[in-house]
Amino acid sequence: MTKSRLEAFSDGVLAIIITIMVLELRTPEGHEWSELFKVWPTLLAYVLSFVYVGIYWNNHHHLMLTVRRINGATLWANLNLLFWLSLFPFVSGWAGETHFAAVPMTCYAAVALMCALAFTVLTSVIVRADVSNHLLADALGSDLKSKLSMTGYVVAVLTPFLGQVGVVLSGVCLIAVALLWLIPDRRIERVLEHEHLS
Amino acid sequence: MTKSRLEAFSDGVLAIIITIMVLELRTPEGHEWSELFKVWPTLLAYVLSFVYVGIYWNNHHHLMLTVRRINGATLWANLNLLFWLSLFPFVSGWAGETHFAAVPMTCYAAVALMCALAFTVLTSVIVRADVSNHLLADALGSDLKSKLSMTGYVVAVLTPFLGQVGVVLSGVCLIAVALLWLIPDRRIERVLEHEHLS
Amino acid sequence: MTKSRLEAFSDGVLAIIITIMVLELRTPEGHEWSELFKVWPTLLAYVLSFVYVGIYWNNHHHLMLTVRRINGATLWANLNLLFWLSLFPFVSGWAGETHFAAVPMTCYAAVALMCALAFTVLTSVIVRADVSNHLLADALGSDLKSKLSMTGYVVAVLTPFLGQVGVVLSGVCLIAVALLWLIPDRRIERVLEHEHLS
Amino acid sequence: MTKSRLEAFSDGVLAIIITIMVLELRTPEGHEWSELFKVWPTLLAYVLSFVYVGIYWNNHHHLMLTVRRINGATLWANLNLLFWLSLFPFVSGWAGETHFAAVPMTCYAAVALMCALAFTVLTSVIVRADVSNHLLADALGSDLKSKLSMTGYVVAVLTPFLGQVGVVLSGVCLIAVALLWLIPDRRIERVLEHEHLS
């Protein structure tokens, strides 16, 4: 089975998710600076979500570089990831419009956590589909960055229940995890270069 | 004629259909859990429609793997399938917002039925365009799964007229057909492997 | 310059135009059949616009098959076509919501006319960019179908000013032109087959 | 690392940005010409934004033709450009709906300025990623057109503060810069032709 259509479809869905989030930025009703300032929480949520979807596109791109065989399970594990990513516009808009209230923040972090779990599932399905592909297994190695992210997401899900300080802490965790991943994933890139594939 | 642009265009349309459905998930007005719970029927309808469009993308992908010749009739049979699939966001949103009322459920099932018929038409147009391609004809064989699905859709169209119990039965049929197809279509994959094309 | 990105970008824009039109189909407020029937003019306008955009994708696909050289003028002639096509969701929604009032019908036909003119411009720009390509020039030959369509569009623009009967005549013209093009463009396909390129 | 997925993803995002702007064109409430005329500022803003995004697609296409190596920094510089471009639908809709009020005009020009800066950053990241690629460095040469554009954008950001005349001047600057770029970027095309790559 070809991986090019899987990539094309995933690129399409990710491109749409990252772009329709801007539709949550409703045009202000007046034409004063004060009206624009009312939009800032939605804009801030948009920036964070844009970075998150960008990170997933980036990592998906890297992951697919190592893949040689795709089966039915891979297709569905990939669709599962795309489903959770597609909820970003919803939770992003909700968090922004409520000026980062506790429940929307918990939901935002929960969606981020589910995306991370779905990416882990996709990776392991791909490894299992092609056990002879040491390229990918080597590239992943001990996954410190993933474990740090998961911890960050779980903290971000729970802290909003502690009140206003918890909401701020939740936001700090989500931003910290995003910054952690802005550094591109050198592990896979490095192994690929060793194999002269890149 | 090339099949790559047909695939690219179909991937694009399917990616947009599967993603814009999330726009039907309107952000709740308040910021409490109770507000989020009001969204659950729309979310449930979204999950089911996401799975359906995913199944069609999956089967479309498999079908196209076997195709060698594309003519004008294939292009229009493909557009016909995309048309019916594009109605999913509409019926999905309507079914969710009315908390699965009888008429929207019948319409949802009718769209699912029309998609299945359009896929059958596309398959037979492709077979007729290239009668020498035994690959596809062999792969389809006796189409038990398609017949089961058609029966399920017809039942799901009719039962909502029987009242509340019928609506539940309609939903059960739609979910059952989706589960039936979540198992990827091994028939085509198997024949392709025999031919050493996969 | 490569034509693959021009095709990919055009496919993307056409896929989005054809799909976002479904967003004009607002979910009915109630859950009765009577509520659904109120949507029929928008649904009818959607079907016609879907067919029109499908025809342009189909013809664009055929036109690009013959192209060997792309320059800056081609890129802009292509964007000009995409611009006029992108107005279909707007005029389609307006015509449907006003139950095919005179002014929206004239606007709809005017957009269809501008698309046809833009396609003619694109074709002639492509022919001029590569005068040695007899393939395309031969394929076009005497363009009876295009002239018939233009006449149909001009009639459809003008007749709505004559009152209710004129609006119906305008709709008949638009549907007749669509049917004329549903027959795929054999001219280009035939020449390509002679050259053993297809 | 492959550049094809970077192009595919960018094409997808640009195609969506250019197309969803039409959703800002709300269907008029009545069905008279007078209702349509109320939409003209939004339509004018749409035309200008369509041309701007078209220019960026065009220049992105040309820039990528010269690229041979892509690294993590390139991916993020590209996402940064796409982020600023994704704000066009927002500022375009706002400028149109407020009939080109001062603050929205300043914001529109500021987004155009940020896009230009992001494109400059992307270009320099690409040059640094592959210093041995004289093709691109030669093609850029002394960047008069970019400097003229930047000046135009800065003027367009500032003049709306001077009142109604300033708003008109801002619009004139934005249109002038667009016209400057409608002439396709011959620099890169010329160098590529010398190298017999085009």
Q: Give me the pLDDT at residue A197, please.
A: 45
Dihedral angle over CA of B79, B81, B82, B85, nearest 10? 160
Tell me the C-alpha to C-alpha distance, in Å, between residue A27 and each of A24, A35, B77, D90: 9, 9, 40, 6
Question: What percentage of chain C has pLDDT greater than the value 90?
Answer: 44
Cβ–Cβ gap C31/B72 under 8 Å: no
Mean pLDDT on D168-193: 78
Check CB contact of C161 with chain D, cutoff 8 Å. Answer: no
Where residue D137 falls among pLDDT bands split at 50, 70, 90?
low
Q: What is the Cα–Cα distance from D124 to D118, expressed in whole angstroms?
A: 10
A131-137 long-range Cβ contacts below 8 angstroms, 24+ apart: A133/A66, A133/A67, A133/A68, A133/A69, A135/A66, A135/A191, A135/A192, A135/A195, A135/A197, A136/A63, A136/A66, A136/A67, A136/A188
Contact yes or no for B183/B142 (Cβ under 8 A): no
Q: How far is C27 from chain B (nearest CA, A)?
A: 5
Check CB contact of D22 with chain A, cutoff 8 Å. Answer: no
Where residue B197 falls among pLDDT bands split at 50, 70, 90?
very low
Interface of C with D in 84-123 (CB under 8 A): 86-87, 89-90, 93-94, 97-98, 101-104, 107
Structure-model confidence comparison of residues C61 and C187, the more confident one:
C61
Where residue C196 falls among pLDDT bands split at 50, 70, 90?
very low
Give the domain range for residue D183: 4-194
Q: What is the mean pLDDT of chain D?
A: 84
Q: How far is C2 from chain B (nearest CA, A)?
A: 15
The string of pLDDT tens digits covering residues A55-95 is 998 888 888 887 877 777 888 899 999 999 999 999 999 99
The string of pLDDT tens digits covering residues B90-130 is 999 999 989 999 999 999 999 999 999 999 999 988 888 77
Dihedral angle over CA of B137, B141, B142, B143, nearest 10? -70
Q: Where are the beta strands (DSSP E) in B122-168?
A: none
**Least CB-CB distance to C15: which of B9, B83, B103?**
B9
Q: How far is D195 from chain C (nearest CA, A)?
A: 12
> Which residues touch B94 (CB under 8 Å, ≥6 apart)?
B104, B107, B108, C27, C28, C31
Check CB contact of D12 with chain C, cutoff 8 Å. Answer: yes
Q: What is the ipTM of this complex?
A: 0.86
Mean pLDDT on C131-146: 65
User: Picking from A117-131, A162-176, B106-120, D151-165, which range would have the lowest pLDDT averaged per residue?
Assistant: A117-131
Q: Give me the pLDDT at residue A103, please.
A: 93
Q: Give me the pLDDT at residue B52, please.
A: 94
Residue D172 above 90 pLDDT? yes
The string of pLDDT tens digits covering residues A27-48 is 888 888 888 888 889 999 999 9
Helices (H), C24-101: 33-37, 40-65, 72-86, 88-97
Cβ–Cβ gap D11/C5 under 8 Å: yes
Q: What is the Cα–Cα distance from B16 to C4, expressed in whole angstroms?
A: 21
Check CB contact of A61 with chain D, cutoff 8 Å. Answer: yes
Q: Give me the pLDDT at residue B129, please.
A: 77
* Number of domain units in chain C: 1
**Least CB-CB distance to B86: which of C19, C28, C31?**
C19
Strand, helix or coil for residue D66: coil
Dihedral angle over CA of D57, D62, D66, D69, nearest 10? 0
Check CB contact of D17 with chain A, cutoff 8 Å. Answer: yes
Residue C148 above 50 pLDDT? yes
How crowded is residue A161: how many other Cβ atoms within 10 Å of its Cβ?
A: 13
User: Which chains does D contact via 3+ CB–CB distances below 8 A?
Assistant: A, C
User: Picking from A26-30, A102-106, B92-96, B148-152, which range would have the lowest pLDDT averaged per residue?
Assistant: A26-30
Angle at D12 between CA B23 and CA B76, to 5 degrees: 80
- Which residue out of C3, C4, C5 would a mutagenesis test of the D interface target, given it has the greatest number of D Cβ atoms within 10 Å? C5
Residue C138 above 50 pLDDT? yes
What's the Rg (C-alpha) of chain A? 18
The string of pLDDT tens digits covering residues D70-117 is 777 888 899 999 999 999 999 999 999 899 999 999 999 999 999 999
Where residue B198 falls among pLDDT bands split at 50, 70, 90?
very low
